[in-house]
Structure 1
C-alpha cells in the first residue's frame, strides 16, 4: 500500500514539474494512471468500463504482463478472450497497447500456431474467441482477461465456459475491459458483489491521443447518447420509444445449426462517400419452419462505390445466398450498375422506399415480437441502431444504414408481396 502510494506521488511530481526521466517514464508503476491499475481488496472481477481510447487495453496488457513475468519460474495459466481470434491477436497481443508491444523485459514469445504466449519463466497465456465457446471447455486458468465483452458473439456461453475453467490457484481473478452497452451479461456483472467497477473517460487519456481528437469528438457527439457511451463510458439504457428492446433481441438469439432454405443479402447504399459513410449490408435466411434467421451484419464504412459493391458480392458468395436486395432511392440505376460491374451474374432485386424509415421498420419489429425472427449471434453495431431507433430516427441524427438493410432483408423474406415496400425484379 505504501509502495503504491509512493509511486503515484512520484509520478504526479514528475508530471507536475515536467521532469523527464527515461527509466521512470517507461515504468508503468509511474506512468500508468490510477484508474488503470488493479483495485485494492478482494474481488473476483475487475470491470474496467470506459470510452474509446480511454486506455482500457493498455491497462489489461500491463496487468497480464505483470502477473506473467513475476518470478524466475511460473506455472501461471492465463486466458485471453476476445470477440474473435483476429481481435485477440491484433488488439490484445500485437496491438499498439498489446502485451507484446508494452513488455519492457521478459517479453513473451507468440506461438501463433498454438494460439498462445509463452514467457521466459514458463507462464502461458492462451487466446480464445467468443465465436467458439466450446474451445474453453477443458483448459483451466489462474487468471483471465476478457476484452470488449459487450461485443462478444456468443457472450453468455463463452463467459460461462470461462468461469468453469477459472479454477487454479488460491485467488482466481478476471479483468473485463469493455465499452459499455446494456447487454444482460454486463448488467449482471455490475450487480455482482464480487465485481469492482472502474469507469474511464476518453478525455482522461488525452495526452496519449492525437491533438484535437477529443475536441473533434466533443463537437460531433458531445451530449448525445452515442457520445455518453463511447466517450464518457456511461452505460446507456435503451430508448423508451425505440422499436426494439435489448431484452427482446436477447430472447431471440440462438446458435443455428440447421440448413436454411433461402438466403438473401440486403443492401442500403450510402448517400455519399468519405470516412463516415456506411453501406448497410445484412444477411438473413429462412429455416425449415419459416422463421427468419439474421446471419450477419456485413456493413462497411468509408468505402468507395466499388469497395462496398465488392463487399456485397463477397457476402453473397460467403453465405451462398439466393438473391441480393438493393435499395435504389439514393443511387437509382447506378446501384445495379455498380453491383453488375463487380459480377454480372449477381441476381438482383431492386427496391424503392415510398414511406419513411420508421413506418417501414414497424412491421419488421412486429415480427420480432411474434418470435418470427432470431439472431444467429451478436451483431453489436446493428443492435445498437435497433435499440436507438425511434419515431425521429437515431438519437445521433445519423442514418440507420445497418437497420435499413436488415429491414429490407426481413421484408423480402417474410413480408414480400404484402404491400410496402414495393419490390420489382430486374
Structure 2
C-alpha cells in the first residue's frame, strides 16, 4: 500500500523509539507537536502487520477519545499514510475493524462499565492518550490486559502535555522510579520517553499558531504548551496540576442544584489595574462542583459588569457572589445598572486568602471538583499560589467565592441544557 505521509525528522526519531527495545514509551511535549498523529500511525502499522490483532486507544473520557481520535486523527492518518485503506466502525462497541480483521478499540477509563468493557479483552497495544489526565491506578489496571498473543511484542504507548514533576508519568519515565514507592525501577530499560515540540511540526500548523497563539500564553503555560517542559511544583501550594487533571471532565451532570457566578472585582481600571475575576461554578445533587467558565477580564466597572451579567444569563445562574471589601456598595450598584433584577450576594473577606481557600482545596483533594475543559490562567494561579504569596489571585478568589457560596444547602433547581 503506497504511503504519501512525509514524516518530519522528529517523527522519524519517535518511530525509532516506538519500535525499539523499550516496552513502554512516552511522547511528551507542547501542543500540536504531532504526538497523537505519530502514535496513531504506529498503532495502525502494528495492527496491519499482525492480522487479527487487537489494540486500544484510551483516554480519561470515552467521548473525548471518540471526538479527537476516532473521528479526527485516525481518518487523517489513514488518508495521508495509508490511502485506500478501508475500515468498518462499530458505533455500539466503539472499535474499527481493518481488512485483515485486526481491531482498534476506543474507550474511556472514567467509569466502571467502560473499564469492564476494556478488561474483558486482551490487547497487543494499549495507547493512553493525554495520560496526564489518567490516574496511575487506572493505568495499572488496564495494563493487565496487555496480554494478547500475536507475532508482535506487546507495547504500551503514552502521550501528554507535561504537567508538574509530581505527576506519575514524570516519576516513571523521566526519573525511572516507581510513582508509589519511590524506589528505582527494576527494569528501567523498559521505559523510554521523548520530547516533541510544535516548532518541529511547523509545516503542519496554521500560520501564526506558534508566534501568536502559543507565544501569547503566560510564562508558565508557555513552558508547558510551547516548550513542552515539565513544570516545577510549588512547595506549599494548595493545588497541584495532578489534582486538577485527574478529575477534569467534558461532560455535564444531568442536573445542577445551584449555579453561582463568583466575582472578585477590580475597583480601578487602566493598564496597571488587576483583572476582575469572573468564574462560574455549578453544584450537582451529589455535592460535586463543576467549574463551568472563566470569563475574567481587565476593564472598566461597566465593562466587567456586562460580562458578569452575560455569564449569569448564559448559565441561568442562581446568584452572583461578589467580594465587597474594596468596592463596597459600588459593585452591586454597577451590576444593577446592567440588570436591575440580578440576584446578588455581597461576600466579605473576614479571613486571609489561605484560610478562605483551604476548604475549597479540600474539596479538590476529595475529588469533588471538576473542571469542564481547561482554564489555563485560572489553573496557573491555583497551582502557584502559596501562603507567602503577595499576589492578588483574582481568578482564584472568584473561584473560591463561587464554591464557598455553593457549599451552602439549598433546594434543587432546573436542568441545564
Shift of 1:296: 1.7
Q: Which residue of 2 aligns with 1:280?
A: 279
**Contact map agreement 1:100 1:107 (CA 8 A) in 2:** no
Matched, 1:230 2:212: no
Please name the residue that 1:189 is paired with.
172
Matching residue of 1:407: 400
Q: Is 2:281 the counterpart of 1:299?
A: no
Q: Say if 1:309 and 1:338, in contact at 8 Å, map to a contact too.
A: no
How many Å apart are 1:311 and its aligned residue?
Answer: 4.5
- Which residue of 2 is the match for residue 82 of structure 1? 59
Q: SS of the residue aligned with 1:63?
A: helix
Q: Which moved more, 1:361-370 or 1:176-185?
A: 361-370
1:225–1:79 CA distance, 2 compared to 1 (3 A)? same
The 1:75/1:51 distance shift into structure 2, 3 A limit, reads same
2:161: which partner in 1? 179
Q: Write out aligned runs for 1:309-328 (5 A).
A: 309=312, 311-313=314-316, 323-327=318-322
**Structure 2 residue 92 is matched with structure 1 residue 99:** no
Establish whether residue 161 from structure 1 lines up as the match of residue 141 from structure 2. yes
Give the whole-Å Cα distance in 2 for the aligned partners of 1:266 and 1:331: 14
1:300 to 1:310, Cα distance in 2 relative to 1, 3 A: farther
Provide the aligned C-alpha RMSD in A.
4.3
User: CA 1:53–1:374 in 2, change beyond 3 Å: closer, same or farther?
Assistant: same
C-alpha displacement of 1:368? 6.0
Instruction: State how far apart, in whole Å, the 2-side matches of 1:212 and 1:252 are.
Output: 32
**Matched residue of 1:176: which SS?**
strand
* Contact residue 141 and residue 166 of structure 1 kept, 8 A: yes
The more displaced of 168-177 and 199-208 is 168-177
Give distance in 1, aligned partners of 2:67 and 2:102.
21
Shift of 1:122: 0.8
* TM-score, structure 1 normalization: 0.67
Structure 2 equivalent of residue 45 of structure 1 = 24
How far apart are the structure 2 equivalents of 1:87 and 1:266? 27
CA gap of 1:197–1:267, structure 2 versus 1, over 3 A, is same
Matched with 2:206 is 210
Question: What SS does the corresponding residue of 2:346 show, helix, strand or coil?
Answer: strand
**Residue equivalent to 1:308:** 311
Q: Does 1:361 align with 2:353?
A: yes
Q: Structure with the greater relative contact order (CA < 8 A, sep ≥ 6): 1 or 2? A: 2
Preserved contact between residue 64 and residue 99 of structure 1 (Cα < 8 Å): no
Unaligned 5+ runs, structure 1: 1-22, 254-259, 288-292, 317-322, 417-426
Question: Structure 1 residues 262 and 172, CA, compared in 2 at 3 Å: closer, same or farther?
Answer: same
- Name the stretch that deviates more: 110-119 or 323-332: 323-332
Deviations 1:193-237 (A, max 9, x none): 222111112211112112232222465247x22111111111102
Matched residue SS, 2:21: coil
Q: In structure 2, what is the Cα distance between the partners aligned to 1:248 and 1:89?
A: 24
Asked if residue 120 in structure 1 is aligned to residue 120 in structure 2, the reply is no
- Offset, 1:144: 1.2
**Contact 2:163/2:224 (<8 A) preserved:** yes
- Name the residue aligned to 1:147: 129
TM-score with structure 2 length normalisation?
0.68
CA contact (8 A) 1:38 1:46 kept: no
